[in-house]
Structure 1
Amino acid sequence: MRSRLPIRISGAALVLGVLANCSGSQNVLAPASDDARLIALLTYWLFGVAVIVFFVTIALLLLGLLLSRGGKERPISFRASTALVVTGGVVAPIFAIIALTLSGVMIGDETEGPRGEAGPRIEVVGRLWWWEFRYLDEAGEVVAVTANELHLPVGKRARLELISDNVIHSFWVPNLQGKTDLIPGTHNELYAEPAVPGVWRGQCAEFCGIQHALMGFVVVAEPEPDYQAWLAAEAEDAATTEGPGFDVFMKYGCGDCHTIRGTEAQGEEGPDLTHLASRRTLAAATLPNTRGNLGGWITSTHSVKPGALMPETAPEAAELQLLLDFLESLE
Structure 2
Amino acid sequence: MRRAWVCTPLLLATGGCNATQSTLDVFGAEAREIRHIAMILTVGAIVILAIVVALYVRAVRAPEGRLSHEAGMRMVLWVGAIGPAVILAALLVYALPAMRPRPTSPVDMVIRVEGEQFWWRVAYVPPGATPMLSANEVRVPVGRTVAFELTAQDVLHSFWIPGLAGKMDMIPGRTNRLVVRAEKAGRYRGVCAEFCGLSHALMAFDVIAMPADAFDAWLARDSVSIARSAGRGAALFDAQGCGGCHAIRGTSHVATIGPDLSHFGERLTVGAGILPPSVEATATFIRAPQAAKPGVRMPAYPQLSDADARMIATYLKGLR
User: 1:159, CA displacement in angstroms?
Assistant: 1.4
Higher relative contact order (CA 8 A, sep 6+): 1
Who is 1:51 aligned against? 46
Question: Aligned letter for 1:323?
Answer: I
Take 1:39 and 1:62, find their aligned partners in 2: how far apart are those partners? 34
Take 2:194 and 2:306, find their aligned partners in 1: how far apart are those partners? 39
Who is 1:193 aligned against? 181
Q: Which residues of 2 match residues 264-283 of structure 1 at below 5 A? A: 264-283=252-271
Who is 2:99 aligned against? 108
RMSD of aligned Cα (Å): 2.4
Q: Residue 25 of structure 1 is aligned with which of 20, 24, 27?
A: 20
Who is 2:72 aligned against? 81
Unaligned runs of 5+ in 2: 1-15
Take 1:251 and 1:49, find their aligned partners in 2: how far apart are those partners? 64
Take 1:312 and 1:103, find their aligned partners in 2: how far apart are those partners? 54
Who is 1:9 aligned against? none
Instruction: Tell me whether 1:40 sits opposite 2:40 in the alignment.
Output: no
Take 1:316 and 1:185, find their aligned partners in 2: how far apart are those partners? 41
Who is 2:89 aligned against? 98
Q: Answer whether contact 1:117 1:157 (CA < 8 A) is retained.
A: no
* Distance 1:118-1:64 versus aligned 2 partners, 3 A rule: farther
Percent identity (aligned): 33
Q: Which residues of 2 match residues 75-224 of structure 1 at below 5 A? A: 76-109=67-100, 112-114=101-103, 118-139=107-128, 141-142=130-131, 144-224=132-212
Q: Answer whether contact 2:247 2:260 (CA < 8 A) is retained.
A: yes
User: 1:125, CA displacement in angstroms?
Assistant: 1.2
Q: Deviations over 1:101-158 (max 9, x none)?
A: 323321111xx1326995311111111211111111324642x111111111111101
Q: Answer whether contact 1:240 1:329 (CA < 8 A) is retained.
A: no
Q: TM-score, normalised by structure 2?
A: 0.87
Take 2:220 and 2:129, find their aligned partners in 1: how far apart are those partners? 17
Q: Answer whether contact 1:201 1:218 (CA < 8 A) is retained.
A: yes
Q: Which residues of 2 match residues 53-68 of structure 1 at below 5 A? A: 53-67=48-62
Q: Residue 319 of structure 2 is aligned with which of 315, 319, 330?
A: 330
Take 1:121 and 1:134, find their aligned partners in 2: how far apart are those partners? 8
User: 1:61, CA displacement in angstroms?
Assistant: 3.5
Question: Aligned letter for 1:100?
Answer: L
Q: Answer whether contact 1:124 1:160 (CA < 8 A) is retained.
A: yes
User: 1:90, CA displacement in angstroms?
Assistant: 2.0
User: 1:227, CA displacement in angstroms?
Assistant: 0.6
Who is 1:14 aligned against? none
Question: Aligned letter for 1:178?
Answer: G
Unaligned runs of 5+ in 1: 1-20
Q: Answer whether contact 2:44 2:91 (CA < 8 A) is retained.
A: no
